[in-house]
Amino acid sequence: MLPDASDALPPASWRITLPHSTAAVPIARALIRTALADIDAPADTDTAELLTAELVANAVEHTRSGEPIELVVELLPTGCQVEVHDRSPAPPGGLDFPHPGGEPDPWQEHGRGLLLIRALSSSCGHRPTEHGKAVWFTLPPRAPQGGV
């Protein structure tokens, strides 16, 4: 007998506390790469790494030192969702809507991370949590690899 939908396993997910330092960025990239590579990943690994690095770097830069940062990865049949939780309740500026005045200054070293997240994810946003906020993005399923 074939299992029905009620027998389906829940999606795979991970929750990991990261150090509140710039060392969190390469750690998060490695964790995403490993999580998506160990299975038949439902989403593009390179894009997931890039966007995760942006969220973690923003959390480190814009929250108080010493406060925990958590990385939450959920693999779904419809792709994957990545969240970064921090203790600041302040919403990330420019994630939901572009900054007033248009594109970032091309000479500035900062200001493109949230633009990348909006452009490369299928959806993104933020939500309040019990201890601060979660900033998230989702990626669609990876296109099947076609043979020649």
Contacts of 84 (CB under 8 A, 6+ apart): 28, 52, 55, 56, 58, 59, 69, 70, 71, 72, 134, 135, 136
**Is 69 inside any structural domain?**
yes
pLDDT at 143: 67
In sequence order, what E strands does 4-78 have? 13-18, 69-76
Q: What CATH number has the domain bearing residue 36?
A: 3.30.565.10
**Is 148 inside any structural domain?**
no
**Is 42 inside any structural domain?**
yes
Note the pLDDT tens digit of each residue in 82-105: 999 999 998 887 665 555 555 555
Model confidence at 55: pLDDT above 50: yes
Query: How many domains would you assign to the chain?
Result: 1
**Is 55 inside any structural domain?**
yes
